[in-house]
Amino acid sequence: MTTTPSSSPTPAPTPAQLAAVLTAAADLLGARQDHMLGLDEWAALARAVGACHACKAADLLTERDLDDIAERAAMDWDEHADGELPSFDGEWRR
């Protein structure tokens, strides 16, 4: 992880947020069982956990994950909601 969720008090997760975490976790486990675990599953889990901890998905993923997401133009990533991705102009910039 690049950072950990803040230890300051955050509001209790809503039932919808908890359901999103459970769905993402179930999808992650299913993908692992199928040997098809990828960035989509990690990003979904990071989004769900981030929503419960009032942080962005990018805060919960590794730098390598973020680099890989930045290289994948087809991946659904909203920098405003999910967090900023690194940019590449001959070398990675953060």
Query: Is 8 within a domain?
Result: no
Query: Is 9 within a domain?
Result: no
CB contact at 8 A, 49 and 3: no
Instruction: Work out the percent of the chain whose per-residue pLDDT is above 70.
Output: 82
What pLDDT is stored for residue 4 in this prediction? 54
Number of domains in the chain: 1
Query: Is 10 within a domain?
Result: no
pTM of the model: 0.69
Integer Cα distance of 74 and 43 in angstroms: 14
Query: Is 32 within a domain?
Result: yes
Q: Give 51-85 pLDDT, tens digit per residue.
A: 998 899 999 999 999 998 888 877 889 999 999 98
State both tokens at 53: 């901890």
Structural domain for 59, as ranges: 15-93
Banded model confidence at residue 22, pLDDT cuts 50, 70, 90: very high
Query: Is 30 within a domain?
Result: yes
Relative to beta strand 87-88, strand 92-93 is antiparallel
Query: Is 6 within a domain?
Result: no
CB contact at 8 A, 57 and 47: yes
Query: Is 52 within a domain?
Result: yes
Query: Is 2 within a domain?
Result: no
